[in-house]
């Protein structure tokens, strides 16, 4: 089995203004693109409410392309997408991601704890979490 993929994030804006024949342009850009050829990946989805759900990384039921269960010793990158206001906490590193409006939030982490916490602040929401690690 082999892994091949990329993690790409771009935050790119042009701020323009025109006044008396003068045009101004300011660019704001942060970008990162990482080719990934090693490690493990997994994805999980569900629905969560205000009660905290614990995600046990030692018992994910995600299977890789070879059919083997995927387990992690460490999570290096994590991404979450959610319909409305879902919080994901990585307890041992103190990182918290917020996903809302079906936008993807991503973070570089070095989480070695076996449990992640996920919850909303009101109502319920669907979510998808993707992991990359070893």
Identify the burial level of 41 via C-beta atoms within 10 angstroms of its C-beta, where 0-12 means exposed, 13-18 middle and 19 or more buried: middle
> Of 94, 101, 97, whose CA–CA distance to 118 is shortest?
97
Task: Tell me what percent of the residues of the chain surpass a pLDDT of 70.
Answer: 99
Instruction: Summarize the confidence of residues 1-5 as an average pLDDT.
Output: 85
Residue 59 pLDDT class (50, 70, 90 cuts) = confident
Which residues have CB under 8 Å from 100's CB, separation 6+? 82, 84, 85, 86
Query: Cβ(1)–Cβ(64) under 8 Å?
Result: yes
Q: Is the predicted pLDDT of residue 43 greater than 90, yes or no?
A: yes
Residue 127 lies in a domain: yes
Residue 109 lies in a domain: yes
Q: How many domains does the chain have?
A: 1
Q: Model confidence over 92-102: pLDDT tens digits?
A: 788 899 999 99
Q: In terms of residue numbers, what domain contains 92?
A: 39-133
Task: Tell me what percent of the residues of the chain surpass a pLDDT of 90.
Answer: 75
Instruction: Summarize the confidence of residues 37-54 as an average pLDDT.
Output: 95
Look up the CATH number of the domain holding residue 107. Answer: 2.60.120.380
Residue 73 lies in a domain: yes
Tokens of 28: 């704001």
Residue 24 lies in a domain: no
Residue 93 lies in a domain: yes
State residue 101's pLDDT score: 96
State residue 1's pLDDT score: 65
Residue 3 lies in a domain: no
pTM: 0.87
Residue 102 lies in a domain: yes
Residue 2 lies in a domain: no
Q: Model confidence over 15-36: pLDDT tens digits?
A: 999 999 899 999 999 999 999 9
Query: Cβ(12)–Cβ(108) under 8 Å?
Result: no
Identify the burial level of 70 via C-beta atoms within 10 angstroms of its C-beta, where 0-12 means exposed, 13-18 middle and 19 or more buried: middle
> Of 129, 85, 84, whose CA–CA distance to 111 is shortest?
129
């Amino acid at each position: 089995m082999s892994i091949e993929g990329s993690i790409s994030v771009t935050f790119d804006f042009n701020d323009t203004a025109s006044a008396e024949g003068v045009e101004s342009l300011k660019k704001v850009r942060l970008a990162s693109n990482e080719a990934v050829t090693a490690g493990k990946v997994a994805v999980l989805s569900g629905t969560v409410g205000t009660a905290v759900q614990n995600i046990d990384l030692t018992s994910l039921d995600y299977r890789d392309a070879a059919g083997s269960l995927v387990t992690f010793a460490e999570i290096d990158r994590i991404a979450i997408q959610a319909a409305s206001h879902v919080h994901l906490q990585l307890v041992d590193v103190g990182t918290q991601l917020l996903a809302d409006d079906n936008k993807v939030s991503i973070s570089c982490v070095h989480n070695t704890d076996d449990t992640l916490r996920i919850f909303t602040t009101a109502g319920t929401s669907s979510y998808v979490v993707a992991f990359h690690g070893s």
